[in-house]
């Protein structure tokens, strides 16, 4: 019975990933992971899901520490901008992470709009 519930949740996560990719076609990858760095559902071009999930969870941890130590309030998201693109991680509930990868010319405003909504929707699972 538990496997059915887990599979059902994974199906829900997969549908949210597909919906986000349809809303923002320029995304190169989308991942939902637990705060401990374990990947739950993902659609990334490479097969290093475990490594990306661990780095996304680490980014959330660093973001939380910086937010707390600088008294900026509750951590929400982190944008990593590199020469070839973005990796943006969003807090989803207390124990979830949504990570998206996009090319450097991507519409970051649209990514934020859609990904924030997705992270908020998924928060009830975490």
For 11, the token pair is 């199906």
pTM recorded for the entire structure: 0.90
Q: What is the pLDDT of residue 98?
A: 97
Q: What is the pLDDT of residue 5?
A: 58
Kindly list the domain boundaries of the chain, sorted by start residue.
2-125
Structure tokens at 84: 């070839």
| CA–CA dist 68, 97 (Å, integer) | 18
- Residue 3, pLDDT score: 56
Look-up: residue for tokens 């990593």? 80
CA distances from 4 to 9, 38, 40, 102, 117 (A): 9, 19, 15, 33, 27
pLDDT in tens, the chain (126 residues): 445 656 688 899 999 999 999 999 999 999 999 999 999 999 987 768 889 999 999 999 999 999 999 999 999 999 999 999 999 999 999 999 999 999 999 999 999 999 999 999 999 999
pLDDT of residue 2: 47
Question: Alpha-carbon distance 73 to 38, whole Å?
Answer: 26
Q: In whole angstroms, give the CA distance from residue 4 to residue 27.
A: 30
Q: What is the pLDDT of residue 49?
A: 84
Second-level CATH architecture of 2-125: 2-Layer Sandwich (3.30)
pLDDT of residue 42: 93
């Amino acid at each position: 019975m538990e496997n059915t519930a887990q599979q059902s949740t994974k199906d829900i996560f997969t549908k949210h990933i597909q919906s986000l990719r349809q809303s923002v076609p320029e995304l190169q990858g989308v991942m939902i992971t637990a705060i401990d760095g374990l990947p739950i559902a993902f659609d990334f071009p490479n097969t290093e899901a475990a490594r990306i999930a661990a780095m996304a969870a680490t980014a959330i941890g660093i973001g939380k520490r910086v937010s707390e130590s600088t008294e900026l309030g509750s951590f929400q998201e982190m944008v990593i901008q590199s020469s070839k693109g973005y990796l943006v991680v969003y807090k989803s509930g207390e124990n979830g992470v949504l990570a998206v990868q996009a090319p450097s010319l991507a519409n970051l405003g649209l990514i934020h709009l859609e990904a924030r909504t997705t992270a908020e929707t998924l928060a009830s699972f975490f």
